[in-house]
């Protein structure tokens, strides 16, 4: 979501009910929030009965507020022995409370204390985005759209089974109840969708009817005489991509950070996965480490929003891996992004002013402040990302594979030469023509090689060489935090400070070379003046890797196209023919650490027909079909 988030201000009405001064209304009935949630929203939507025995059930809420509906629903789900396997609760909020205020508010509802504490621990940074939080081992998924409802309803991709309409009253908060808002809600309905609200206002009733709901009045909560319950007219529901039917088995090709993340996300959903990797063994805990931090641009570009989404998701997932006892090696030590020149300094300033993010996300620092963070003198002022840092990719891969272990068969030394869809399954063959695995779903997570397995006339991926330089801490006073300025230099990790990285087009040389070290030392000198000038590049070790880079620098994540099918009359991403059950998660360019986890969650959500973890514009921006669509539009 673009824009900025303005948090709510905590206040109470005379009777102690949480109150919004901005809207002049209370957050829930004075007769009790949880009671209202149970009567109006749960019972009004036939819950818990309607979610019982289902694999997945999706609730959409307009107005997260203090989260009482969420907490009450989650509690009812926990207490229900027949609960659905996975409960998605997607809620929209323009003015979220800070964690501190939520803690204060929730202390008034002791019966919800256990869930409330978990929500507080997971509460995200208040930046505009879709935030996906998981509870109860991922069986309860809260997706929070921190944005204006009008925008958010357009950007959500989901099929809701139940809808909680919970804006402030229609007189005080009309934009939450307009006919356009109700039409937008109707567009997000599954065929069995119901809706409920405490409001019985005629304008709401009419807006719901016009949008395609059959509406009835029911007895309201406590002293309220009436409330509204509604059911969508199933004939008006547009067919959406259904979850993959049949066996929940997949092949994943490639055990880099992309493939390992896909394995983890699919196995967490109960899938059985065969992972095929050409390297003889799993990634070793190497000296290699990479940086993760969001990008800020004055116009909050799609690229910047993708980095924000990836960053937020990565933090959630990596912390969850640790909480589950796995051991990725990383540090949220903070990242300084120093301005390279006047123009960049002014762009950084404009970006901060436009977004006004919380200090824990990003802040401006002078050169002196930056040097204090770094513990060594740095070259310029810039941005400080206190919760960003570095990660060792091999440790992340191994943590994800360990998390997936019970449902994962990982085969190393298995080079896939060809794939084909035969007899209702994707089949992977080795160079001798032997089938090595088959499954109804396959995910290509093998970087630039994906296009060899599924050739495309429209997608172009470049392989760009990159070399890292490992500087022993005896030869450099390493910073305490990651510092970037064109290149990057990391704090010393087990005696080595990683610096980089070269960006070498049309260069397949897999061996580290002195000239690349020289370039990296120059990069370090531009970050920490004079720090690397005395180091002899010929004495250093390094690591070489290859980035897979798409023309728009965004990854390719989603269903792969069938370019041989007849072109649709009305070319749209939604009308392009896709390969049945074949997905891609590749071309992560220089941002694999940020994007691989989010990409995996997107692929798993697409396969399962679940609410997408990304806004529609971002999901479209990474859709592998975008290049075929552009080609069709150019041709037509
Ligand atoms: C020098 C350098 C520095 C970088 N720094 C950063 C950084 O600081 N932060 C960041 O976020 N990103 C960084 N990146 C980018 C990041 O490393 C990549 O985005 C990431 O590694 C991509 O992961 P992947 O799993 O998509 O691809 P890969 O890591 O390339 O993994 C693909 C896997 O597929 C396997 N494979 C390929 N074809 C087949 C086949 N046919 N059959 C079986 N297996 C196959 C390969 O062996 C490989 O293991 C850097 C990259 C380089 C080169
Ligand atoms: C009645 S409260 C919701 C109470 C909440 N469902 C709960 O369980 O605590 C209404 C919420 O709608 C939010 N809101 C109002 N206008 C909005 C808009 N245009 N877009 C998104 N949220 C909005 C308010 O900030 C407020 O938090």
DSSP per position, 176-189: GS-HHHHHHHHHTE
Report d(CA 207, CA 198) in Å as an integer. 15
User: Residue holding tokens 């697409």?
Assistant: 606
Neighbour order of strands in the sheet with 140-146: 130-135, 140-146, 86-93, 56-62, 160-165, 189-197, 226-232, 213-219
Residue stretches of the chain with pLDDT short of 50: none
Question: How far, in Å, CA of 191 to CA of 461, rounded?
Answer: 40
Determine the atom of ligand 1 nearest the C-alpha atom of 279.
47
- The tokens of 193 are what? 């969708």
Quick one: pLDDT at residue 33?
87
In 3D space, the residue among 555, 392, 390 whose CA is nearest the CA of residue 488 turns out to be 390
Q: Which atom of ligand 2 is nearest to the CA of 25?
A: 1
| In contact, 123 and 99? CB cutoff 8 Å | yes
Looking from the CA of residue 276, the nearest atom of ligand 1 is 43
| pTM across the whole model | 0.98
- Strands 578-586 and 441-444, by their bridges, are parallel
Could you check whether the bond before residue 48 is cis, i.e. omega within 30 degrees of 0? Answer: yes
CB of 95 within 6 A of ligand 2: the answer is yes
Q: Which of 282, 443, 590 has most ligand 1 atoms within 8 Å of its beta carbon, as the pocket-test mutant? A: 590
Q: Residue 323: CB partners within 8 Å, gap ≥ 6?
A: none
How high is the pLDDT of residue 241? 64
* Calpha distance 259→401 (Å, rounded): 9
How far does residue 237's CA lie from ligand 1's centre (Å)? 41
> From ligand 1's centre to the CA of 503, what distance in Å?
14
Nearest-ligand number for the alpha carbon of 28: 2
CA angle 141, 143, 145 (to 5 degrees): 170
User: With contact defined as beta carbons under 8 Å apart, do 367 and 418 qualify?
Assistant: no
Give the separation between CA 452 and CA 450, rounded to whole angstroms. 5
- Residue 443 and residue 252 in contact, taking contact as beta carbons nearer than 8 Å: yes
Q: What is the largest CA-CA distance in the chain?
A: 82
Contacts of residue 153, Cβ cutoff 8 Å, sequence gap at least 6: 62, 92, 181, 184, 185, 187, 188
Contact 520, 499 (CB under 8 A): yes
CA distances from 371 to 42, 170, 240, 335, 346 (A): 54, 52, 53, 12, 20
Expressed in angstroms and rounded, the spacing between residue 163 Cα and the centre of ligand 2 is 14
Residues 612, 198: Cα–Cα separation, whole Å: 28
- In ligand 1, which atom is closest to the CA atom of 501? 1
CA 393 / ligand 1 centre spacing (Å)? 9
Rounded-to-integer distance, Cα 88 and Cα 224, Å: 29
Contact in structure between 269 and 86 (CB atoms under 8 Å): yes
The atom of ligand 1 lying closest to the CA of 464 is 53
Measured from the alpha carbon of residue 584, the closest ligand is 1
CA of 383 to the centre of ligand 1 (A): 27
What's the CA gap between 62 and 54, in Å, rounded?
23
170 lines ligand 2 (CB under 6 A): no
Strand runs labelled E in 9-101: 19-20, 25-26, 56-62, 86-93
> Which two three-digit tokens encode residue 516?
């690349």
Nearest ligand to the CA atom of 147: 2
Measured torsion, CA atoms of residues 505, 510, 512, 513, in degrees rounded to the nearest 10: -60
CA of 546 to the centre of ligand 1 (A): 7
Residue 258 C-alpha to ligand 1 middle, in angstroms?
8
Counting atoms of ligand 1 from 1, which one is nearest the CA of 390? 8
Contact 160, 190 (CB under 8 A): yes
Which pLDDT tens digit goes with each residue over 4-53?
999 999 999 999 999 999 999 999 988 888 899 999 999 999 999 999 99
End-to-end CA separation in angstroms for the chain = 32
Measure Cα distances from 218 to 46, 224, 324, 588 in Å: 13, 10, 45, 52
Pairing of strands 86-93, 140-146: parallel
Ligand 2 pocket check for 563: Cβ under 6 Å: no
- Probe residue for ligand 1, chosen from 251, 255, 256 as the CB with the greatest number of ligand atoms within 8 Å: 256
Give CA–CA dist 577/625, Å, rounded. Answer: 9
Distance CA 138, CA 134 (A): 5
The per-residue pLDDT for 265 is: 98
Ligand 1 interacting residues, C-beta cut-off 6 A: 253-259, 276-279, 290-292, 415-416, 445-447, 449, 466-468, 500-501, 545-547, 586, 588-594, 596
Pick the ligand that lies closest to the CA of residue 167.
Answer: 2
**What's the CA gap between 86 and 422, in Å, rounded?**
32
Task: Return the residue whose CA atom lies nearest to atom 33 of ligand 1.
Answer: 254
Whole-angstrom Cα Rg for the chain: 26
Residue 508: per-residue pLDDT:
95
Quote the tokens at residue 438: 């088959």
Q: Residue 116: enclosing H or E segment and its boundaries?
A: helix 113-122
Structure tokens belonging to residue 326:
């796995």
Ligand showing the shortest atom-to-Cα distance for residue 400: 1
CA 257 to ligand 1 centroid distance, Å: 7
Rounded to the nearest whole angstrom, what is the distance from the C-alpha of residue 269 to the centroid of ligand 1? 25
């Amino acid at each position: 979501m673009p824009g900025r988030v303005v948090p709510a201000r905590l206040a109470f009405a005379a009777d102690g009910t949480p109150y919004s001064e901005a809207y002049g209304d209370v957050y829930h009935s004075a007769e009790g929030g949880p009671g209202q949630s149970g009567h109006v929203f749960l019972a009004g939507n036939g819950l818990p009965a309607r979610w019982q025995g289902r694999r997945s059930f999706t609730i959409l809420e307009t107005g997260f507020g203090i989260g009482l509906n969420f907490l009450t629903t989650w509690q009812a789900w926990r207490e229900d022995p027949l609960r659905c396997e996975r409960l998605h609760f997607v809620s929209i909020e323009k003015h979220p409370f800070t964690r501190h205020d939520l803690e204060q508010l929730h202390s008034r509802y002791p019966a919800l204390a256990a869930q409330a504490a978990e929500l507080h621990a997971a509460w995200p940074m208040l930046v505009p985005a879709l935030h996906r939080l998981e509870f109860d081992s991922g069986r309860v998924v809260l997706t929070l759209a921190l944005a204006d409802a009008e925008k958010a309803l357009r950007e959500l991709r989901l099929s809701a089974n139940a809808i909680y309409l919970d804006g402030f009253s229609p007189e005080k908060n009309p934009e939450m109840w307009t006919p356009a808002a109700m039409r937008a809600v109707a567009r997000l309905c599954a065929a069995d969708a119901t809706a409920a609200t405490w409001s019985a206002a005629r304008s709401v009733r009419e807006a719901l009817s016009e949008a395609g709901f059959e509406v009835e009045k029911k007895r309201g909560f406590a002293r309220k005489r009436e409330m509204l319950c509604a059911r969508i007219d199933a004939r008006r529901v547009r067919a959406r991509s259904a979850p993959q039917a049949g066996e929940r088995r997949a092949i994943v090709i490639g055990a880099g950070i992309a493939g390992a993340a896909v394995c983890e996300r699919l196995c967490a959903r109960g899938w059985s996965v065969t992972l095929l990797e050409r390297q003889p063994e799993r990634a070793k805990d190497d000296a290699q480490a990479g940086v993760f931090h969001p990008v800020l641009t004055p116009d909050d570009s799609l690229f910047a929003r993708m980095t924000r989404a990836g960053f937020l998701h990565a933090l959630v997932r990596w912390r969850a891996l640790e909480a589950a006892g796995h051991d990725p090696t990383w540090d949220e030590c903070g990242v300084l992004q120093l301005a390279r020149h006047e123009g960049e300094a002014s762009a950084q300033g404009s970006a901060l002013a436009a977004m006004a993010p919380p200090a824990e996300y990003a802040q401006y620092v002078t050169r002196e402040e930056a040097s204090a963070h770094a513990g060594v003198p740095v070259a310029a002022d810039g941005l400080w990302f206190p919760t960003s840092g570095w990660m060792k990719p091999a440790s992340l891969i191994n943590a994800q594979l360990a998390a997936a272990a019970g449902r994962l068969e990982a085969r190393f030394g298995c080079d896939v030469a060809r794939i084909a869809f035969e007899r209702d399954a994707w089949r992977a063959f080795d160079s001798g023509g032997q089938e090595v695995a088959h499954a109804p779903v396959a995910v290509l997570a093998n970087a630039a090689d994906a296009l060899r397995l599924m050739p495309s006339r429209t997608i172009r991926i470049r392989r760009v060489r990159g070399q890292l330089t490992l500087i022993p801490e005896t030869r450099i006073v390493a910073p305490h935090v990651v510092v970037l300025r064109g290149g990057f230099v990391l704090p010393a990790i087990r005696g080595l400070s990683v610096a980089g990285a070269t960006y070498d087009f049309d260069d397949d040389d897999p061996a580290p070379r002195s000239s690349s070290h020289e370039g990296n030392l120059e990069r370090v000198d531009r970050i920490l003046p004079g720090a690397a000038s005395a180091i002899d590049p010929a004495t250093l070790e390094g690591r070489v890797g290859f980035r897979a880079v798409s023309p728009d620098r965004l990854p390719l994540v989603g269903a792969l196209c069938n370019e041989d099918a007849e072109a649709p009359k009305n070319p749209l991403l939604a009308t392009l023919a896709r390969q049945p059950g074949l997905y891609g998660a590749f071309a992560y360019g220089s941002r694999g650490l940020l994007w691989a986890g989010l990409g995996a969650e997107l692929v798993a959500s697409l396969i399962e027909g679940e609410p997408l973890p990304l806004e529609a514009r971002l999901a479209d921006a990474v859709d592998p079909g975008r290049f075929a669509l552009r080609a069709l539009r150019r041709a037509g």
